Structure 1
Amino acid sequence: MSTEAAGEEIRSRGFVTSFARGLDVIGAFGPGAGRLTLSEVASRAGLDRAVARRLLMTLVELGFAESQGRRFALTPQVLRLAQAYLGGAGLDRRMQPALEALANRLGESVSLSVLDWPDIVNVARAEAADRPFRHALAVSARMPAHATASGRVLMAALSSDAARAHLAAPLPRYTPHTVTEPDALMRAVAACRDAGFAVLDGELEEGFASAAVPVADATGRVVAALATSSHAGRRDAVALRAEVVPAMLATAREISALLV
Structure 2
Amino acid sequence: MDDERDAEGRGRDFVVAFARGLDVIQAFGPESPSLTLSEVAARTGVDRAVARRLLRTLADLGFARHDGKRFALTPRVLRLADSYLSTEGFDRLQPALEALSRQLSLNTSLTVLDYPEIVHVARAEARERQPHVMLKTAARMPAVATASGRVLLAALPPPELQALLGRAPLPRFTARSRTDIPAQLAAIAACRESGFAIVDGELQEGFISAAVPLRDGAGRILAALATSSQALERSAEAMEREVLPALRETAKEMGASLRWSR
Task: Give the Cα–Cα distance (whole angstroms) in 1 for the partners of residues 132 and 74 of structure 2.
Answer: 27
Aligned counterparts, 1:90-105, within 5 A: 90-92=89-91, 94-105=92-103
**2:213 paired residue number:** 214
**1:119 paired residue number:** 117
* Equivalent residue letter for 2:120: N
- Residue deviations 1:170-198, cap 9 Å, x none? 11100010112111111111100110000
Q: Secondary structure at the match of 1:176?
A: coil
Task: Give the Cα–Cα distance (whole angstroms) in 1 for the partners of residues 72 and 244 of structure 2.
Answer: 41
Residue 236 (structure 1) aligned with residue 235 (structure 2): yes
2:163 aligned residue (159, 162, 165): 165
Q: CA deviation at 1:14?
A: 0.3
* Equivalent residue letter for 1:203: E
- Residue deviations 1:59-108, cap 9 Å, x none? 0000000012200000010011101111111211x101110111011111
Aligned counterparts, 1:61-100, within 5 A: 61-92=60-91, 94-100=92-98
Task: Give the Cα–Cα distance (whole angstroms) in 1 for the partners of residues 66 and 158 of structure 2.
Answer: 47
Q: Secondary structure at the match of 1:134?
A: helix
Task: Give the Cα–Cα distance (whole angstroms) in 1 for the partners of residues 10 and 184 of structure 2.
Answer: 32
Q: Secondary structure at the match of 2:217?
A: coil
Aligned counterparts, 1:15-26, within 5 A: 15-26=14-25
Q: Secondary structure at the match of 1:220?
A: coil
Residue 35 (structure 1) aligned with residue 34 (structure 2): yes
Contact 2:106 2:130 in 1 (8 A): no
* Equivalent residue letter for 1:173: R
What is the aligned-residue identity percentage?
Answer: 60
Task: Give the Cα–Cα distance (whole angstroms) in 2 for the partners of residues 228 and 140 of structure 1.
Answer: 16
Residue 50 (structure 1) aligned with residue 49 (structure 2): yes
Between 1:236-245 and 1:198-207, the stretch displaced more is 236-245
Contact 2:107 2:130 in 1 (8 A): no
* Equivalent residue letter for 1:46: G
Aligned counterparts, 1:136-151, within 5 A: 136-151=134-149
TM-score, normalised relative to structure 1: 0.94
* Equivalent residue letter for 1:124: A
Q: CA deviation at 1:132?
A: 5.1
Residue 188 (structure 1) aligned with residue 170 (structure 2): no
- Residue deviations 1:23-54, cap 9 Å, x none? 00001001111010001111111111110000
- Please, which runs of 5 or more residues in structure 2 have no aligned partner? 1-5
* Equivalent residue letter for 1:220: G
TM-score, normalised relative to structure 2: 0.94
Number of residues of Structure 1 aligned to a counterpart in Structure 2: 253
Contact 1:104 1:129 in 2 (8 A): no
Contact 1:208 1:236 in 2 (8 A): no
**2:3 paired residue number:** none
- The list of structure 1 runs, each at least 4 consecutive aligned residues, that deviate by more than 6 angstroms after superposition, is none
- Residue deviations 1:131-181, cap 9 Å, x none? 352321111110000000000000011111111111112111000101121
Contact 1:109 1:229 in 2 (8 A): yes
Q: CA deviation at 1:9?
A: 2.2
Q: CA deviation at 1:128?
A: 2.3
Task: Give the Cα–Cα distance (whole angstroms) in 1 for the partners of residues 209 and 23 of structure 2.
Answer: 33
**1:226 paired residue number:** 225
Task: Give the Cα–Cα distance (whole angstroms) in 2 for the partners of residues 80 and 98 of structure 1.
Answer: 23
